[in-house]
Structures are given as structure tokens and as C-alpha cells.
Structure 1
Amino acid sequence: MLYPELFKQLESVRWDMDKDIPWDSFDPAMLSDEQAATIKMNAITEWAALPATEMFLRDNRGDSDFSAFMSIWFFEEQKHSLVLMEYLRRFRPDMVPTEEELHAIRFEFDPAPALETLMLHFCGEIRLNHWYRRASDWHTEPVIKAIYTKLSQDEARHGGAYLKYMKRAIGKFGVEAKSAFAKVGVLMASARRTAQALHPTNLHVNKSLFPRDTIQSRLPNPEWLEHWLDKQINFDAVWETKVVERILHNMSLLMERSFTTVQELNKFRKELSKDLTGAPVASPGAV
């Protein structure tokens, strides 16, 4: 099992919201209304760990190890939402999300292949790590800069934990797991070719609720994410390239084969699709 060791590792570096956030360093002159509004949107978006965890537990009933790990991931992701709300409660109480705004993003996700979902969230952690690093750079107020740094470090650790479960899946399911990871990897490393930000909170997940079946579409301001990325934290081509490079680097480690471009990964994906006949089939929810 991976859960016991992951628990020890993540427990050893867990930060304390009271002791490790420099609340006394707050500088009101360095926080604008524009910046406070983005903090509110991120606080609500982080609350989406709740429906995501419900999805993971439902779709991984056959995997108690991974389901147990969700207890860590869920706790730390909800803590992200909580610390952002605590910041607003202390310094901009008019911006604190309401319970109704938080509950609006709790809806059921359609069932999806467990391996592909695992890879999707692995890539999401990489992307969010980079988004929060840019957010910390963009903000000028010292406390929120420190908070976003903490969050970005957590997201990187979560990505590392997902990677361990992906390695385990390859050991169990071989070509099928590699094919699922390569398929989603190509998608998530191709953001420059899409009109929307490629992150789990921005993807459609419930056909019956379309088009309001993304987390972002159910926020108080559904348009905020693109504006935040393009006009505020300036998540430009240089930073997008960093995300792609991290995805390709980790795919190279997983597949024991070098990928320097998305095209190379896509070529590998096509090779795997030819090998799937006769490969062991993963049982539902087993990663």
C-alpha cells in the first residue's frame, strides 16, 4: 500500500494555518479590490475538492489504498479553500464566499475511467502549482503572497503522490494504463491549441447539466478564470511551456522513454493503441 508512507511524508511537511501564515504582516495598502475578488474565486474553486472527492471514492470503490489517500488530499485541498476564506474574513470580510456560493459547485460528476481521471488530476496539480506560483508573484500584499506559495507547494506534493499511484497502475495494468495516461497527457499538454484553460475545474463533467457542468461555470463570475490567467497573473506562453515540460518530463519517467514534444507523446500514444489487444484490462475503479 502507498497510503501509509504518503501519510507520513505529507504529515511531516504539513503547515499550520495559525502558526505558519504571517498574519501579522498584513499590509492593507497592498491589497486591491481586484486582487481580493480573485482570492474569493480561488477560495470557491478550491472547495471543488468536495465533489471531486465524492467522484474519486465512487469510481475507485475497488481500490481502498487510493481511496484512503483521498482522506489526505481532501483535507489539504479543503484547507486551501479555508485559508483563503480566513484571509478574506480577517481583511476583506465583504468578500467572503457565502455558503450558497460554495454549495453551488457541489454537483455530481458523470462516471469516467479511473485511469484517465487519475492522469487528469495529476496534470491539474502541475498546472495549479504553476498558476499559484504566478499568483504569488502578481500579488503585492505579503500575507497572500505567502499563502499562495504554501498552496503551490502543496499542489506539487499532491502531483508527486498521484505519480506514485500512476506508477503502481502501470505495474498492474501495463499497456492499458500507459495508453490512458498518454491519451490524457496529450490533451493536457496541448492547452496552447485550445480556447480554454485545461484544468479539471474547467472541463465538462455532467452531460445532464450542460453547459453549467463545469466548476468554473457555476462560480459567481464564470468568466474570471481566463481574465485572471491572461490579464492579471499573466500566465503567458513562457509559463505554459513550463507546464508542458513538466508533463512531458513526468511522462518520460513513467514510460521510460524520452518525450520532448507533445507530438512525440502523441506518436507514442498511437503506438500503444495498436498494442492494446490482449493487454490486461483494469477493473472499474482500480488504480
Structure 2
Amino acid sequence: MLYPELFKSLEQVRWNMDTDIAWDQFDASKLTDEQAQTIKMNAITEWSALPATEMFLRDNRGDSDFSAFMSVWFFEEQKHSLVLMEYLRRFRPELVPTEAELQNVRFEFDPAPPLETLMMHFCGEIRLNHWYRCASEWHSEPVIKQIYKIISQDEARHGGAYLRYMKKALSVGSAVVADQTRAAFAKIGVLMASSRRTEKPLHPTNLHVNESLFPNDTVQSRLPDPGWLERWLDNQIKFDGEWEKKVVERILHNMSLLFERSFDTVQDLNRYRKEVTGRLALNPAA
């Protein structure tokens, strides 16, 4: 069971919103209206950890270890939303999200294969880590720069925890089951590392998750400003090709660790995926 160890390790580095944020360093002259609006959008987006947790608990009823870890992940992710809202409450109270705006991103996600969902969120944590690091550099106001740096570090730790559960999944069951797990992880890894080929950023909050609500079934589509994410990335924080390269390299590095095989490119990972699915085609019985 990984939960006790992960709980202890995350507890040791947990930050305190009252004492670890340098609220007294706020400089109003360095915060624009445009920047403040992006903080509001991120606060609402982070609130979507609530329906994601409900999804994880529903789809992982047979895994008490992972479900218990959700208590830590959920707490820390909701804290991200809370610290961003606290920043607005102190310095731009007119922009604090309403309860209705927060409730609007709480909707049911369709059931999905748990291993693929785990891999998708693992990649999502890597991407968020880089988005928030980039956002910290874009901002000039010192308090929000610190907040984005702190929550980016949380996202990196969450990615590490998900990787531990992915390794655990590979160690359970027969050789065929292990290959089924590898195939699921590699499939999503190829998708999430190929974002330069798509028009929209690939992240769990921007993917369609409820067929009955389509097209209003992404977290981003339910924000007060549905087109915000692309503008934030492309025109505001300027998450460019160099940043995207860092995301892809990090995903491939972790896939190399997970599968004990070197992947320098997405094509390498895709070839591995085809190799695994080829084995499964020859021996499909678990």
C-alpha cells in the first residue's frame, strides 16, 4: 500500500496558506486587470478537482489504496483554488468567483478506463507544473509569482505520486495483464505528448468528459470565459514551443522510467505501444 508513505511525504512538505505566503509583499502597481482576471479563471479551474475526485472514487472502487490517496490529492488541489481565491479576496475582491461559478464546473464525468484516466492525469500534472512555472515568470506582482511557484511544486509532487501508482499497476497480475496496462499507459502517453499537433492544449480540464452534455462537457467550456485557456497560454503567459518541448521531454523521461526503455521521441513511444499491442493480439487472454 502506497497511501501511508505518500501521506507522510506530502505532509512533510505541505505549505501553510497563512504563514508561508508573503501576503505583506503585495505590490498593487504590478497587478493589471488582465492578470487578475486570469487568476480568477485558474481559481475556478482548480475547483474542478472536486468532480475529478468524484470520478476517481467511483471508477476505483476496487482500489482502496489509490482511493485513500485521493484524500490527499483532493485536499491539496482544492487548496490551490482556495489560495488563488484568497489572493483575490485580499486584493481584487470584485473578482472572487461566485459559488454559482464554482458549482458550474462540478458536473459528472462519464466512466472511463481507470488506467487511461490515471495516465491522463499524470500527464496533466506535468503540464500544470510547467503552465504554473511559466505563469509565475509572466506575472510581476511578487505574491502571485510566489503562489504560482508553490502550487507548481505541488503539481510536480502529485505527478510523482501518480507515477508510483502506475508502477504498482504494472507489478500486479499476469504478463498479459501487465501488457494491457502498458498498452493503456502508452496509448495516453502518445496522445498527451502529441499536443503540438492539436489546436487545443491537451489537459484533463479541456477534454470532453460527458457525452450527454456535449459540447458543454469540458471544464473550460463551463468557465465564465470559455475561451480563456487558449488566450492565457498563447497570448498572455506565452507558453511557446520551448515550454511545450519541456512538457514532452518530461513525459517521455517518465515513460522511460516506467517501462524501463529509452524514449527520445513520441514516435519511439508509439513504436513501443505498437509492440505491446502486437503481443496482446497474439495472446489476448488474461
Q: TM-score range by the shorter chain?
A: over 0.9
Partner of 1:110: 110
Q: What SS does the aligned partner of 1:276 have?
A: helix
Instruction: Give the letter for the 1:61 counterpart.
Output: R
Query: What is the alpha-carbon distance in structure 2 between the residues aligned to residue 189 and residue 117 of structure 1?
Result: 15
1:152-167, aligned counterparts within 5 Å?
A: 152-167=152-167
**RCO comparison, higher one (Cα < 8 Å, 6+):** 1
C-alpha distance after superposition, 1:237-279 (max 9, x if no partner) = 0000000000000000101110000011001101111112546
**Quick one: which amino acid aligns to residue 201 of structure 2?**
A
CA distance in 2, matches of 1:279, 1:50: 36
Task: Give distance in 2, aligned partners of 1:41 and 1:276.
Answer: 43
Provide the residue aligned with 1:240 in structure 2.
Answer: 244
Distance 2:77 2:99 in 1: 17
CA contact (8 A) 1:169 1:177 kept: yes
Amino acid in the other structure paired with 1:258: S
TM-score between both structures, scaled by the size of structure 2: 0.97
Q: Which whole-Å CA distance do the structure 2 matches of 1:250 and 1:51 have between them?
A: 27
Alignment-derived partner of residue 86 in structure 2:
86
Query: Which shifted more, 116-125 or 272-281?
Result: 272-281
Partner Cα separation in structure 1 for residue 280 and residue 141 of structure 2: 52
Instruction: Encode CA deviations 1:26-69: one digit per residue, 9 max, x unaligned.
Output: 00000000000000000000000000000000000000000000
SS of match in other structure, 1:127: helix
Instruction: Kindly report structure 1 stretches of 4+ aligned residues shifted beyond 6 Å.
Output: none
- 1:200 matches 2:204: yes
Cross-structure match for 1:179: 183
What root-mean-square deviation, in Å, do the aligned CA atoms of Structure 1 and Structure 2 show?
Answer: 0.8
Shift of 1:130: 0.1
Aligned equivalents of 2:246, 2:187: Cα separation in 1: 20
Gaps of 5+ in 1: 282-287
Q: Percent identity?
A: 75
Aligned partner of 1:275 among 259, 271, 279: 279
The AA in structure 2 aligned to 1:68 is: A
* Residue 17 (structure 2) pairs with residue 17 (structure 1): yes
Offset at residue 280 of structure 1 (A) = 7.0
Distance in 2 (alpha carbons) for counterparts of 1:249 and 1:24 = 39
Whole-angstrom distance in 2 between the partners of 1:201 and 1:48: 8
- Contact map agreement 1:176 1:279 (CA 8 A) in 2: no
Q: Distance in 1 between matches of 2:148 and 2:181?
A: 33
Q: Is the 8 A contact 1:126 1:156 kept in 2?
A: yes
Paired residue for 1:261?
265
Unaligned runs of 5+ in 2: none
Tell me which residue corresponds to 2:195.
Answer: 191
When normalised by structure 1's length, the TM-score is 0.97
Partner amino acid, structure 1, of 2:4: P
Provide the rounded CA distance (Å) in 1 between the counterparts of 2:235 and 2:128.
17
Task: Give the partner amino acid of 1:35.
Answer: Q
Residue aligning to 2:214 = 210
User: What is the letter of the counterpart of residue 69 of structure 2?
Assistant: F
Residue-pair matches, total = 281
